[in-house]
Structures are given as structure tokens and as C-alpha cells.
A and B are shown apart, each in its own frame.
Chain A
Amino acid sequence: MSMDERIDLHPTHKAAGYSIRAGQTLPFGATVLPGGAVNFSIFSRHATDGTLVLFRRGEPVAFAEIPFPREFRIGNVYAMIVFGLDREETEYGYRMDGPNAPEQGHRFNRAHVLLDPYAKSIGGRDVWRKPPDWSDPFQHRGRLVFDDFDWGDDHPLELPLEDLVIYELHVRSFTSHSSSGVRAPGTFAGLVEKIPYLKELGVNCVELMPVFEFDEFENSRVQPETGELLLNYWGYSTVGFFAPKAGYARTGAFGMEADEFKTLVREFHRNGIEVMLDVVFNHTAEGNERGPSISFRGIDNQTYYMLSPGGHYLNFSGCGNTVNCNNPVVRGMVLDCLRYWAADYHIDGFRFDLASILGRDPWGAPMSNPPLIEQLAFDPVLARCKLVAEAWDPGGLYQVGSFPAYGRWAEWNGKYRDAARKFLKGDLGLVGEMAQRVQGSPDLYASAGRGAAVSVNFITAHDGFTLRDLFSYDRKHNLANGENNNDGANDNESWNCGWEGETDDPGINALRRRMIKNALALLFVSRGTPMLLMGDELGRTQLGNNNTYCHDNPLNWVDWTLDDSQEEILRFARRCIAFRRAHPILRGRAHLRNADYVGSGLPDISWHGTQAWRADWSGVSRVLAFMLCGRHTDNGTPEDNTLYAAFNMHWEWLGFELPTPPAGSRWHVFANTAAPSPADCWPPGSEPLLADQRHIGLDGRSVLILIAKAP
């Protein structure tokens, strides 16, 4: 024995044929120690006793059950080191003893083998869509992981928020279609193969829909009319917060999903693209009283869930239960989880599903100074991660513009989406609001001292219509979900352009194409942080279904075979993104002041209409035009071109008088959505000179974007 060998790495007890000793209380979870022993640590405030249960991989019967000796519990933490375990073949869970008294909030039952809330790898669903063996009493099985990935010189990219172009995507949907051409469709590895496409598109951040372990078979059922197996496909229902979805990994069946996902992050970073995770802390996969005991409810129901005085689950999530995330212990778990993903997976940011729930106290009441949201804002490890809130919840909280931000949080700007949709389809009374939205919504954020980039601007997201469907359907068509079209939102603010659904009518299809381009143009010239939904740049359709959470089929999958019309939209989207990335004046962090503060002779933003310098703010206007002075870029960014954008959302042709461009420059055309492709948009540097510098006609429902430069 060498002098520096630690004596506490030797066992002190024997139990169930294994050598053990009292463990280290922190960190929670299973930690492989130097030398190969494993430290198991689990919290329960209300349990009276606990047992570590060990299985061989995939076997329904445990090979060892080791009760925690009294001296292994410190406070409310049970901790044990076990020697001699096979780190790859061992799966572990716990039995917890305690009162089974639901009216008091306790649901202990030692018949259940429970998943460790801190499990870093979870078996049981490690091959996507493989039918589970429901007779197995241990469905979601903790596994041990190696935390020694070699990152080389990789680190989170820390791109400025205002420079991001976010692309929201679903890992399986992106490459599951046979046309994707990847070697491992529907996996993390398959997504890596599509990085060149994303790079060419120009996005620099992917926001992955849930990738924490979930159960695709939760509430799975056969659609009676189609025979289609409906799944918990999107995965907004977490089983384990520390484990990547093993079924998303090509190597998940070998237990290597952590390495595969880390490789994905590294490859995205290598290509200048950040990885943001859509995280679901508001509820878990355990559902309500009738749901399964997977983990939390059997470990410490009263700690982990918001309960009524009678012990019933409060349901602010609309999904059966609500995580009690302002209980200090649960808060600690959320913090440990995010720190783990930031530090061990190099994740660049997080989008919090139904984030308003994180601001509710244990009884559900909204707090003015919610400790979890504050703590995340000030955490040293998360300090440079993007934090983006979906600032509402189904319990009625709507906090767009008022989410407690602590100088750190950004928001999905639902008001941008709603206003943009109405404005684009020609609704009246939107011009004033739209002027706020294209400026980064200073009406929502400026008075609280929040900049423009905190507004994540989007017109479509996974919830709701795709961009193509937004202009192809007046109403949702969700029968395929098997809920009689009762699910999904009704306030879509969509317009079918004259025919409900797909059509051969060339006029309608041309109009839809133009409407899509109008939307893309609006999104990418708006100040704030733009987010594009997967496939919207390809004219992806969900056939009018605005809630495809349950479909593992082409309703969700990106079809990579493109017709001419789709190629045209893709080209337009690429050029809009390239235009945005070429022009810092579109990406300011601060709010515009509607004034000249650099002495250029032009305000940073000025408003126009069919007459230059005279915007029509009236309730009957469908026209908005603005000019951004290129000398008003934020501190530190180089001087930019002056830009002009005009939106004619009226159905009739209108003549526009143009403001005079800065001395020495003339107007050139970046985009005109009324012009037939390929003259609808131009790559940076090749914009053609506008013949008439004073006047231009805009077709009905079209957008014009000009750039001032020397001829």
C-alpha cells in the first residue's frame, strides 16, 4: 500500500455478498470513484428507510438488494459505496419505505423499484420504439456512466444573444425520413450528418426539443381509424433530468448515449453552431394519481410535487402534476441538473418549457421574487448560458414582458408571433403594434431595463401550424391525433389564401409562397433574436395539424425531397439569414431611440409609408415601412449600410415614395417578394441598383427590402 492510498476506499461492511461502506452524501446520484467503486447517494425527507437494488442489464429480477444500514444515513441522505460492481452491466434503483398516506402527500410503497432522480444514463427505452416488457417491475433503469469524455479544446461558444439565429428542431424528425440520406436516421449521430445543411442555411444555434430521457410509450395508443401507433413522440414529459434520451442515440443500446450526445455538441461547436436544450421542469412523466410510480412520487412525493391540502396533484402544467420547483431541495436538483448539462455537456443555453411555473410557490401562487428563477440567473456555472423562458403556463400565468428576468432571462415573445401573424394576413389595427415588434418590443422590455435581444422573435414554433400551414389552413385539422379535433390551439391567426388545404391552383400556391417569404423577411429584419422552426425554410407541411406531439411519421418528419417551390423558399430563407448576419444594424442589443444620436442626419430608425417620412398609423392602415440608419450600430460594431424595409400587407398594389438614402449611396434591392424567383432576393454584395430611386410600386401582400450603398 502506497503512502497516499486512502483508507476510506476500503470496505467496512458486507451485505448481500458485496463489500460496502458508508458513502459520501454529495453529490447525489451514482458516482464511479477512482478505483472502480461506486458511490450511491439519494435524498428522501419522508422515507423511513431505503434499499439499494441492483440488477444485471435488462433482467427483471434483482441480483442484490442492500438495505442502507442506519449509520449510512446522514440527515435525509442515504449514501453507500459498493465495491466490485460491473460498471457496464449493472443497473440500479431504490426501494423506499415510508407511509402510504396520499391524503398527507405520501405515496411510499416498497413494492416499487424506483429510478434515481439523478441517474445519468437510463435503460429500459434505449432502443427507440421497441415495445417495452410491461411485466418488468423496473421500467426505467439507472445506469452508471463514464464522465471522462475528451473534449479537446471545445468550449461553449458564448455567441452574443443578439447575433443568434435559432433553429428549433426535433432530433428524430429531422432525419427519420428515408430521404434524409443519413446512416443512422432519427439519432444524434444522424443529426451530426446534417450539420453542413444547417451551416449552409446560416443558423448558428439549434434548439433541440426535449432530449432528456422520456418514455415514448407513455399514453401510447392505436389511432382507431388509421391503425397508427400514437406515441409521446415530442417528449415533453421527463423521466430523468440528468440522462440524454438513450433511444435517440445510435449507440444507446450499448449505453454510449452520453458520449454520442457529447460528440454531437462538439461537432456543432466545431461548425460555429450553439446547442440549446428545450428543458421541461414543470412536470414529470409520473402524471396524476393514476400515473406510474417511476421515481419522484415513490422517493418523496410531498417534496417533489405541488399538492393540494388533501394530497391531490396540482396541475398547472396541464399534464397531471406540477414539479414543486420552489421547494429548496427540488430547486437544488434543477440547479444541479443545469450545471451538469452546462459543464459536462458544454450546452450553450436552455429554453424553459412553461417557465412561469418555475415562479410559483409550493402552493401554486405566483411569487414576485421567485428564488429558482433568481438563482439560475446568478449561478456561476450557468453565468454565460442563454436562459430563455416560455413565459406562460396553462394555469393562467402570462408573463411575456413581465417575466422576472434579473438582467439575464430572455423570453419567447408570444406577442411577436401573434402580432406578426395578424399583420401578415392583412388584419387592421396592427401597424402600431408591429412597429414595436420589429424594434425588439421596447413596449414590453425597455421600461424594465431589458434590451432588444431578450425578445426571441418567432412566427411559428413546434406548438401550432408550420409556416406553410399558417397560410394553407384557416382551421386546425387534428383528427389524426385521435381526440376528435379537440386538442391543439384554436387561435391560430392563420389564413388559407382562398382554399382550405393543399391545392393545385397555381395562383393560390404562388400567393402562399409569397406569404411565406413575407413572413421570413419580417422575421429576419426584426430586432430581437429570431427563431425559425425546423423545415419552415423548406415549406414543410403537417397537413393542417397544429399539435403533432404524438406522430412518429411523415406528419412530423422532414421530407428532404424538394420540389421547385420548396427550393425557392429555401433559397429565400438562406438569403434572408445571410442578409441578417451581414448587417449588424438588424441585430442591435440595445433599443432603438427613434433619434439621431451620432450626428448622421438620420434617426436610428425612421418610419415611412406610401409617403416618405409619413407613416400611416391609423387603424385602417396595412402598410409599414422603416429605415435603419447604418451609422447607428451598437457600440463596438462597425458602421453598417442604411437599410429600408417596406411591408404592403394590403391586397392591392400601392405606390411607395422612398426616403433619400445617405449622401453618396443609392438604393439597391435585397429582396422583393413580389418579384418572380430568382429575382426575389440577392446574396450579400450582389444587390442590383434600383432604377427609380424616388418611387416604387409594391404589389399587394409583398415586402421590399433595400440597402443603401455606393453605386
Chain B
Amino acid sequence: MKLEIEVTRQTGAVIAALKGSINAANAEEAAASLLPLAQAGGRLVLDASRLEFISSAGLRLLLRLQRAAADAGGRLVLAGLSPEVSEVMLVTGFLQHFVHAETLAEALAE
């Protein structure tokens, strides 16, 4: 399965909408487009409402982004995680590392 990333900019936030699936096959490519956004500092919202599956490598990418954002004095917020993705992140210990919001609107208000 593929991953599409759509980046939009709002006042005070960059929003990257993730659609499809993140796995080892596309994680590096995703990192190439997402890491610069995280390294820019400021608020990066990952809209995961159309993210269907995230593998182990994908979760590690999210953590890398989170660390990069923090290093740059910025902030990463996850928005709209599906119940399944959220549960996988919870039981594998990843969810606790993230600020996450139910919806994009809440993430922007966060």
C-alpha cells in the first residue's frame, strides 16, 4: 500500500495529511518529505485521519519526527488517529510519546 502526503500551511501550523499506509518500504521516502517540516520548528500537525495502517518502521518514523520537532523547539501533534492505529500505538508503547487530538480542529487548537 502506498502513502500520499499532502502538506498545507496555516497561520502558526503546518499540516501534513497522511493517506494510506506507512511501512518499511516507504518510511525513508516519507522521512525525506516530513523531517524538514519537523526540523523547521513551529507546530507540525500530522493529520492521520486517512492513515489506514502504520507498521513498526512507521511508528519509528513518527518518533523520529517528534524528536526532531522537539530538538528544533517545535511541537508535533497527531490528529484523528483511527481506533485501530491508536490501539496499536498504545499497546506497543508509542502513544505515550505523543500529543494527540481527536480531530484536526482540536489539534490546531491544542
Bound state CA distance, A255 and B55, in angstroms? Answer: 8
Chain B residues numbered 59-103 whose CB sits less than 8 Å from any CB in chain A = 59-60, 63, 87-88, 90-94, 97
A86/B25 in contact, CB under 8 A: yes
* Nearest neighbor of B28 in chain A, beta-carbon distance: A36
- The answer, yes or no, to whether A589 is at the interface (CB within 8 Å) is no
B56/A88 in contact, CB under 8 A: yes
B60/A146 in contact, CB under 8 A: yes
A250/B56 in contact, CB under 8 A: no
Given known contacts A150-B63, A150-B97, is B24 in contact with A192 (CB within 8 Å)?
no
* Nearest neighbor of A121 in chain B, beta-carbon distance: B56
- The answer, yes or no, to whether B23 is at the interface (CB within 8 Å) is yes
Chain A residues numbered 248-306 whose CB sits less than 8 Å from any CB in chain B = 250-251, 254-256, 259-260, 262-263, 266
**Residues of B within 8 A of A (CB-CB), count:** 17
Task: Render A216-258 as a binary contact track against B, CB cut-off 8 A, 1 for contact.
Answer: 0000000000000000000000000000000000110011100
A192/B60 in contact, CB under 8 A: no
B92/A263 in contact, CB under 8 A: yes
A150/B55 in contact, CB under 8 A: no
* Nearest neighbor of B93 in chain A, beta-carbon distance: A263
B91/A263 in contact, CB under 8 A: yes
A262/B93 in contact, CB under 8 A: yes
Residues from chain B with a CB closer than 8 A to the CB of A694 are: none
Residues from chain B with a CB closer than 8 A to the CB of A89 are: 23-25
CB A703 to nearest CB in B, in angstroms, measures 42
Bound state CA distance, A192 and B93, in angstroms? Answer: 11
B88/A254 in contact, CB under 8 A: yes
Given known contacts A88-B55, A149-B93, is B87 in contact with A183 (CB within 8 Å)?
yes
CB B23 to nearest CB in A, in angstroms, measures 6
Bound state CA distance, A279 and B78, in angstroms? Answer: 40
- The answer, yes or no, to whether A350 is at the interface (CB within 8 Å) is no
B57/A148 in contact, CB under 8 A: no
* Nearest neighbor of B23 in chain A, beta-carbon distance: A88
- The answer, yes or no, to whether A194 is at the interface (CB within 8 Å) is no
The prevalent SS among residues of A at the interface is loop
- The answer, yes or no, to whether A189 is at the interface (CB within 8 Å) is yes
- The answer, yes or no, to whether A184 is at the interface (CB within 8 Å) is yes
Given known contacts A86-B24, A255-B55, is B60 in contact with A148 (CB within 8 Å)?
yes
Among A187, A189, A254, A262, the residue within 8 A (CB) of B56 is A254
Bound state CA distance, A189 and B92, in angstroms? Answer: 8
- The answer, yes or no, to whether A87 is at the interface (CB within 8 Å) is yes
- The answer, yes or no, to whether A352 is at the interface (CB within 8 Å) is no
* Nearest neighbor of B83 in chain A, beta-carbon distance: A183
A150/B93 in contact, CB under 8 A: yes
CB A193 to nearest CB in B, in angstroms, measures 10
- The answer, yes or no, to whether A188 is at the interface (CB within 8 Å) is yes
B60/A251 in contact, CB under 8 A: no
Bound state CA distance, A262 and B56, in angstroms? Answer: 14
Residues from chain B with a CB closer than 8 A to the CB of A183 are: 87
A254/B55 in contact, CB under 8 A: yes
Bound state CA distance, A251 and B86, in angstroms? Answer: 12
Given known contacts A189-B91, A260-B92, A263-B92, is B56 in contact with A255 (CB within 8 Å)?
yes
A88/B87 in contact, CB under 8 A: no
Bound state CA distance, A146 and B59, in angstroms? Answer: 11
Among A87, A184, A266, the residue within 8 A (CB) of B93 is A266
Chain A residues numbered 156-200 whose CB sits less than 8 Å from any CB in chain B = 183-184, 187-189, 192
CB A35 to nearest CB in B, in angstroms, measures 11
Residues from chain B with a CB closer than 8 A to the CB of A251 are: 88, 91-92
A184/B24 in contact, CB under 8 A: no
Bound state CA distance, A254 and B91, in angstroms? Answer: 12
Among A87, A192, A255, the residue within 8 A (CB) of B91 is A192
* Nearest neighbor of B97 in chain A, beta-carbon distance: A150
A260/B91 in contact, CB under 8 A: yes
CB A145 to nearest CB in B, in angstroms, measures 8
Chain A residues numbered 485-505 whose CB sits less than 8 Å from any CB in chain B = none
Residues from chain B with a CB closer than 8 A to the CB of A266 are: 93
Bound state CA distance, A610 and B97, in angstroms? Answer: 62
Bound state CA distance, A184 and B92, in angstroms? Answer: 13
A259/B56 in contact, CB under 8 A: yes
Given known contacts A87-B57, A88-B23, is B87 in contact with A256 (CB within 8 Å)?
no
CB A235 to nearest CB in B, in angstroms, measures 21
Residues from chain A with a CB closer than 8 A to the CB of B60 are: 146, 148
Task: Render A74-104 as a binary contact track against B, CB cut-off 8 A, 1 for contact.
Answer: 0000000000001111000000000000000
Bound state CA distance, A251 and B93, in angstroms? Answer: 12
Residues from chain B with a CB closer than 8 A to the CB of A187 are: 91
Bound state CA distance, A259 and B63, in angstroms? Answer: 14
Bound state CA distance, A112 and B40, in angstroms? Answer: 52
Bound state CA distance, A254 and B24, in angstroms? Answer: 12
A256/B24 in contact, CB under 8 A: no
Residues from chain B with a CB closer than 8 A to the CB of A259 are: 56, 59, 92-94
Beyond contacts A251-B92, A254-B56, A255-B56: 7 other A-B pairs, Cβ-Cβ < 8 A, are A88-B55, A148-B60, A149-B93, A250-B88, A250-B91, A256-B56, A262-B93
Between A and B, 30 residue pairs with Cβ closer than 8 Å are A86-B24, A86-B25, A87-B57, A88-B24, A88-B55, A88-B56, A146-B56, A146-B57, A146-B60, A150-B63, A150-B93, A183-B87, A192-B91, A250-B88, A250-B91, A251-B88, A251-B91, A254-B56, A255-B56, A256-B56, A256-B59, A256-B88, A256-B92, A259-B59, A259-B94, A260-B91, A260-B92, A260-B93, A262-B93, A266-B93
A residues contacting B by CB (< 8 A) are 86-89, 146, 148-150, 183-184, 187-189, 192, 250-251, 254-256, 259-260, 262-263, 266
The 10 closest A-B pairs by CB, nearest first: A263-B93, A189-B91, A259-B92, A88-B24, A256-B92, A87-B24, A256-B56, A260-B91, A260-B92, A86-B24
